[in-house]
């Protein structure tokens, strides 16, 4: 009796390696740079996942590096290696709504010229921060790293 390859289960896909990363189902990779994160967020649909490649993310416009108002997950490809840098000129993240998950991000050098939230300002939504490092942020009033209203 001959064996048939159709009776054996298919081989599992090869594991992802650091040199050839794969975005999860539906995940969208984002390259570091000025304005790339906000542009990727703006192009994403509600419920999407943005996977930030290693590097520094900045902005050259506005009071916030990133403004969030819809359901989104934003995670570092490698924890701690995606750096959101307000460059001591703007807030890093302002959240006004949506179910938001931030994971493995380094959020630094954010500045708010108002009370709270140089790093992250939460004005609305359901927000979860997992394994994020928020440091060296400041605000005109209390709550330099984070604030909510």
pLDDT tens, position by position, 64-88: 999 999 999 999 999 999 999 999 9
The pTM of the whole model exceeds 0.85? no
What tens digit of pLDDT does each residue of 95-117 get? Answer: 999 999 999 999 999 999 877 78
**Token pair in block for residue 47:** 């419920």
Number of H helices, E strands in the chain: 1, 16
CB atoms within 10 A of CB 3: 7
DSSP state of 17: B
**How many CB atoms sit inside 10 A of residue 63's CB?**
16
Helix (H) or strand (E) holding 76: strand 72-76
């Amino acid at each position: 009796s001959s064996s048939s390859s159709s009776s054996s289960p298919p081989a599992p896909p090869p594991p992802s390696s650091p040199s050839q990363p794969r975005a999860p189902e539906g995940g969208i990779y984002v390259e570091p740079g000025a304005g790339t994160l906000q542009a990727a967020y703006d192009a994403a649909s509600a419920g999407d996942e943005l996977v930030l490649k290693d590097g520094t993310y900045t902005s050259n416009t506005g009071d916030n590096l990133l403004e969030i108002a819809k359901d989104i997950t934003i995670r570092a490809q490698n924890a701690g290696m995606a750096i959101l840098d307000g460059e001591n000129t703007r807030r890093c993240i302002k959240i006004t709504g949506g179910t938001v998950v931030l994971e493995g991000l380094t959020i630094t050098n954010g500045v708010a010229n108002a009370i709270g939230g140089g790093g992250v300002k939460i004005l609305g939504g359901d927000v979860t921060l997992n394994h994020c490092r928020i440091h060296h942020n400041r605000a005109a009033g209390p709550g330099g790293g984070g604030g909510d209203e």
